[in-house]
Amino acid sequence: MNAAVTLGTLERLKQNGEKIACVTSYDASFTVLLEAAGVDVVLVGDSLGNVIQGHDSTLPVTMEDMIYHAACVARAGKSALRIVDMPFMSYASVSQALENAARLMREAGAQMVKLEGGRHVVETVRALTEHGMPVCAHLGLTPQSVHQLGGYRVQGRDADAAGRLLEDARLLDDAGAGALVLECIPSALAAQITAGVSMPTIGIGAGLDCDGQVLVLYDLLGITPGKRPVFSRNFLEDAADIPQALQAYVKAVKDGSFPGPEHSFD
């Protein structure tokens, strides 16, 4: 069995220039396969609203949904670090965030919680970490704000927006966030953020220079209903079976062959 991955492991990987491989999981069976493939981090994402529940956004996903799926993952998980999304409006206040994050850790086996947003969640991040609950932040395209953002679009393309994202990343880093997901931002901006913060960055549609990469499991296997995101790749196309596809993904992340320019934005 692989050694258990901790936050310290991710920090060492960043310092050593070794890539972090992350994939979403929502159940026990896939979690076993992901860990056997060598995935460092399993993210129980509120993307389950899209790929499992059939919604057109993550907004309908509830705390009970996240607790159920995270607990399924935790029962099977042995080595990968488990990050669990805090769903829409579950951290609207600091007190609410503390209560719900504690539930995810106590009832669902989360080892780290993930929340979306920049400077407006800094106080929440600081409170969670001060109470011993590790936080993964999330900047760029934040799916819980899809209506406010005007759809699923690349963020940070103009100078003002890029500067704001860079400042948000630094504020979150200072507040104690232990990791940062960067979604759908220009590769050059992601590289700048990655170099400017101490916490590991995990990209999705954010270029090769992030400290790691994450994909939604269903995108990685080419089974997501409808159009697959342009930043994803179907690793099952050239594999004999699912375990081989997962191994190919981990290898591609680790050796830097994924993402390519076609999976990134200028």
Q: Which residues are catalytic?
A: 183
C-alpha Rg value of the chain to the nearest Å: 17
CB atoms inside a 10 Å sphere around CB 138: 26
Sequence-ordered list of residues with C-beta below 8 angstroms from that of 66, at least 6 positions apart, any chain: 44, 46, 84, 85, 86, 87, 104, 108
CB contact at 8 A, 196 and 163: no
Take residue 84 and report the two structure tokens written for it.
Answer: 């669990």
3-state secondary structure of 79: coil
Task: Compute φ and ψ for 23, nearest 5 degrees.
Answer: -140, 150
Distance of CA 143 to the CA centre of its chain: 12
The helix-helix angle for 94-108 and 122-130 (nearest 10°) equals 50
Supply the DSSP symbol for 88. T
Amino acid letter for position 67: I
Amino acid letter for position 97: A
Each residue of 180-205: b (16+ CB within 10 Å) or e?
bbbbbbbbebbbbbbeebebbbbbbb
3-state secondary structure of 100: helix
Type and span of the H or E element at 14: helix 7-16
CA dist., res. 53 & res. 50, Å (int): 6
